[in-house]
Amino acid sequence: MEWQQLRLDVTVRRDYSAFDRQQHADLTNPALAHARQVARVFGETRGWSRWVAKDVDRALVILLSLHQPEDRIRFSELAPALLAHGLSAERTIEVLEHLDLFEDDRTPTLDSWLQRRLADLAPGIRTDVENWLRTLHDGGPRTRARSLSTVHGYLNHIDGTLQEWSQRFDHLREITRDDVLAAAENLHGNDRHHTLGALRSLFRH
């Protein structure tokens, strides 16, 4: 079956993995010609080895030979194709991003983790907890950004408490000081300290 690049729309994804250079390459495509020129400049200014430069050029030929002006190349389309041809995506993405031809449709690690860990919380509680954790991770006007591992630690200390509260409450504003103290009542030492610290941070937010 002859390979062809499918046009981008909301339902159809393009498959570049069957690309054959002898059959499908179109070096006259304007987007490809421009991208190859940009890649040469990048290679010279950023010190790419000739092997890296060659791989990027091969990748651009695969991705842009049949490119149309309105097309954008998704990561989910790019990655399997370049893997199939033994090519790395990182430097190619640099070129495509510079040309505004790249769409990163990967789910960020934080998003997928939040979706999984907060799924069982009451909706009102989940919204507040998610906003708090995002602010911890990204930082804010009065909050310095924390690493993802630190954010994991904050939630780990109070996850059980949030699950239990979600059985009895719809929103954090319903929770009293006595509820917070009861949550830490049977904890000792560092566990108690970290749990109260995480809850204090959450309610302050």
Domain assignment present for residue 78? The answer is yes
Domain count, the chain: 2
Q: Which residue has the tokens 């909301």?
A: 10
Domain assignment present for residue 74? The answer is yes
Using 70 as the pLDDT threshold, list the residues of the chain that sit under it.
Answer: 1-13
Q: Give yes or no: residues 79 and 28 share one domain.
A: yes
User: Which residues constitute the domain of residue 42?
Assistant: 21-103
Cα–Cα dist 41/38, whole Å: 5
Cα-Cα-Cα-Cα dihedral sign, residues 184, 121, 135, 171: negative
| Domain-ending residue, one of 52, 70, 103 | 103
Q: Which helix (H) or strand (E) element contains residue 198?
A: helix 189-204
Q: What distance lies between CA 16 and its chain's CA centroid?
A: 22
What are 64's two structure tokens?
């842009």
| Domain-ending residue, one of 52, 85, 103 | 103
pLDDT in tens, 2-29: 455 544 444 466 878 778 888 888 999 9
Domain assignment present for residue 15? The answer is no
Cα–Cα dist 33/56, whole Å: 13
Report CA-CA distances (Å) from 81 to 3, 6, 114: 13, 14, 30
Confidence (pLDDT) at 7: 47
Confidence (pLDDT) at 31: 94
Q: Give yes or no: residues 95 and 113 share one domain.
A: no
Closest of 166, 171, 155, 167 to residue 117, by C-alpha: 155
| Domain-ending residue, one of 60, 85, 103 | 103
Confidence (pLDDT) at 22: 84
Confidence (pLDDT) at 197: 93
pLDDT in tens, 29-38: 999 999 999 9
Domain assignment present for residue 183? The answer is yes
Q: Give yes or no: residues 60 and 113 share one domain.
A: no
Confidence (pLDDT) at 177: 93
Whole-prediction pTM:
0.55
Confidence (pLDDT) at 128: 95
Confidence (pLDDT) at 13: 67
Q: Give yes or no: residues 135 and 79 share one domain.
A: no
